[in-house]
């Protein structure tokens, strides 16, 4: 699974659970914790998530906000996911 797809899943898991740990995300995506740390770092850099006391949280609950922050390839992934 590439980073774009993982980012979509990470955002969905965090939204559904009101946060998640690195370990929980790694387990859910069947990847290493280091992979999740790199993905979360990128999501933090664009302002989608924040890290508080070991939990990863969304910065805003507005899906339109995420769509405007993500590169075009990720916008397509989010749009396809919404249609399902």
Write the pLDDT tens digit of every residue in 5-29: 999 999 999 999 989 999 999 999 9
Cβ atoms of residues 50 and 40 within 8 Å: no
72 or 47: which leads in pLDDT: 47
56 or 31: which leads in pLDDT: 31
CATH assignment of 3-72, given 3.90.1170.20, 1.10.10.10, 1.10.1610.10, 3.40.50.300? 1.10.10.10
Q: Is the pLDDT of residue 59 over 50?
A: yes
pTM of full prediction above 0.85: no
Inter-helix orientation angle 3-17/72-83, to 10°: 50
Going by pLDDT thresholds of 50, 70 and 90, the confidence category of residue 58 is confident
Residue ranges of domains in the chain: 3-72
Q: Is the pLDDT of residue 2 over 80?
A: yes
Alpha-helix residue ranges (DSSP H) falling in the chain:
3-17, 22-29, 33-45, 63-69, 72-83
**How far is residue 29's CA from residue 6's CA, in Å, rounded to a whole number?**
7
Give the gyration radius of the chain's Cα atoms: 12
């Amino acid at each position: 699974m590439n980073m774009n797809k993982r980012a979509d899943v990470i955002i969905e898991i965090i939204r559904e659970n009101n946060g998640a740990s690195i370990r929980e995300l790694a387990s859910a995506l069947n990847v290493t914790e280091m992979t999740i740390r790199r993905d979360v770092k990128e999501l933090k850099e664009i302002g989608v998530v924040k890290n508080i006391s070991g939990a990863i949280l969304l910065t805003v609950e507005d899906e339109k906000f995420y769509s405007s922050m993500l590169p075009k390839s990720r916008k397509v992934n989010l749009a396809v996911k919404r249609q399902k």
